[in-house]
Structure 1
Amino acid sequence: MNDDGRPTLLVIAKEPRPGRVKTRLTARFTPEQAARLAEAALRDTLALVAAVPARRRVLALAGAPGRWLPPGFDVVPQGAGGLDERLAAAFGACTGPTLLVGMDTPQLTGDLLAPATSAGGWGDCDAWFGPAADGGFWALGLAEPAAAPALLHGVPMSTPHTGSAQRARLTGAGLRVRDLPVVRDVDTPDDALAVAALAPRTRFAALLAEFLGPAAVRGGSGGSGGGGGGR
């Protein structure tokens, strides 16, 4: 690890192609619009990660990189299997303390990540956990990424109890766990409106306003909310 003790930042994402990403958004948007919203969210997430001090930045990608990828990221392919296996494989591309986030939280800020990305953030813990209000999780940090298979394999993903099951796996392994704030990710049209209202200066919010009109975005429901699947 480098001298200032910063972790690796790891993003897991799908190439934003129509019909392959954010399919639950098609309850209100076309598949093409859903893919464009996914790309905007990914751009916002990667821009934030690029701006946060880190030892290394890694993108675990299902698909091919596009113009949305900023410089400074090492791109690795996602592994096969369920989400639990793919998350574990993504950690396998890293060494030393590593914090993973998904592609669907465009409202992330440096302040939200700061506890786990500061120089001393790993001094008294083995894992960071970012809970989500829908019962999932939006961030997971491991001091020892090599332990990821034992800590992730078999955890039921995309359920109302995913977050509690994942955190219990961490504590059950004897890890010292610290928590990040609750964050809402974008799975449904209601999520999209709420997140855009929270982060009106993002690419994501601007595109949503283009699709629905600025008044619809301003009227989105607030709250921090959260998610934890659909990566």
Structure 2
Amino acid sequence: MIKATNIQKYFGELQVLKGVDLRIKAGEVVSIVGPSGAGKTTLLQILGTLDNQSNKKESELEINGIDVTSLKDKALAAFRNNHIGFIFQFHQLLPEFSAIENVCIPAFIKRTGKAEAETRATELLIFLGLSNRMHHRPNELSGGEQQRVAVARALINNPSIILADEPSGNLDSESADKLHQLFFQLRDEFGQTFVIVTHNEELADMADRKLTMIDGQITDQYVERSLGSPKKP
């Protein structure tokens, strides 16, 4: 599913990633933890093709069997839109659009027809418990509701991989717990692979594998277990 080898990243003279190797199987939920500045978000952005590693010629990044480093900009954007969904801490919803309109945006970028996109968005919002909030704008939604809209947006194109960066960091504990359980429900329902950067130890410990990053390197991980329901913290 994801194969990354010797991923390095420099910002000027500062080396943020120092030769990261990573293998993630289809259907896994993998958490990445570590102190601020360890390189977690930078790694996630590279895995999501939002940024490039500094050593392309000496590294490898393969997603769904495709060498994404070989793709030109237009093909890479299409690959990202089709195969990868993103969930961010601060939702990144467009305030002038309703929940269902926000969810439909990636589908419209994919050139999905309006009726088909709205049907899929409606199904997702109902699944996520937002059937009566579909036509509300973000400022009319709670933080937990906004994050579930963001989850629906990430799922609209049926991506095989969901990348989440501190997805519950801006939520109260009850909303965070519901979101954490939702990730595993989605994996079981739709078969997505999840890579989650988090400071929430409860969420991290629920994952199939927990990776720890320190100073630009993955230093350890929990022993891999069989895929299935979330591990009890």
TM-score when normalising by structure 1? 0.31
Q: Which has the larger radius of gyration?
A: 2
More strand by share: 2
- Relative contact order, higher structure (CA 8 A, sep 6+): 2
